[in-house]
Amino acid sequence: MIAQSRWTPYWQAAPMTLVFAVFFIVPLIATFVVSFWEYNQYSIQPAMTGENYTEIFDGCIAGLPELCTIFKTYLSTLKFAAIVWALTLVIGFTIAYFLVFHIRTLTMQIILALVCTIPFLTSNVIRMISWIPLLGRNGLVNQALLGLGITDQPLDWLLYSNFSVVLAFVHLNTVFMIIPLLNSMFRIDKSLIEAAYDTGASGWQTLVNVVIPLSKTGIAIGSIFVITIVMGDYITIGVMGGQQIASVGKIIQVQTNFLQFPLAAANAVLLLVTVLSMILLLTRIVDIRKEL
């Protein structure tokens, strides 16, 4: 009976472990292996060569002090990730704080939380494309600006620009910041907030010294979700950027379309290493397992 009770948790975890291995670990290993294969316009040959990684960084040394294409692309992708992360954090934190500390009844908290999250259950593509008739040259926003006399001509930077890409990213991914923050803030003992006010702390001091430190787990989890999604997203950048803005995910997609699978796999490995490094940094700052 002792041996049986000892192995029971492992048997219970076995089905999920098998699913995780088949649909996550095995594809990762296959991608890593393919990244070392050789390829040409007609075929792919299994081999162990580092030419794909060399090709990715081709011209980086010779082009100094100018950045090579891959570094420029990573900087562009990281820029989008940083901007979207900051905006989703501010918006998500504000919404979560309002729901938890300013809405008194649990029923109303649940209703408003559903109002915030249910729209995100619709297709990302539908929500993304819905911005095009609003931001286009003849869209509703430009028509309103012209009608009010704010501008003399339509604004071209509203669509197919960095602005439209960031706007779409924030629209699509804010929910991934709201939910972890709600979970963390609901765990905060309200008596701590009252104690802070009783000792003379202002609202800002209470926020900085009590609420934010106790919400750091939600901030870390939401940041992991947002950064991971933005770093690999190529559909949003392609549609909202008018196929004119480069990103790492877009490079991988183009290489896949041209059947350059080993080169695309090498880029995917580099992207994975970059994202995992960022996640590792976040988990170093906040011990998520300890805080949960």
Query: Are 271 and 252 spatial neighbours (Cβ–Cβ below 8 Å)?
Result: yes
Give which of 224, 229, 217 is closest to 171, Cα–Cα: 229
Tracing tokens 């995780």 back to the chain, one arrives at 20
**Pairwise CA distance, residues 213 & 169, whole Å:** 27
Contacts of 146 (CB under 8 A, 6+ apart): 152, 153, 154
Query: Tell me: the pLDDT tens digits for 51-99?
Result: 888 888 776 655 554 557 778 888 889 999 999 999 999 999 999 999 9
Residue type for 112, please?
Answer: L
**Domains within the chain, CATH numbers bracketed:** 18-40+48-291 (1.10.3720.10)
Query: Tell me: the pLDDT tens digits for 178-235?
Result: 999 998 998 888 888 888 888 888 888 888 888 898 899 999 999 999 999 999 888 8
pTM score, whole prediction: 0.86
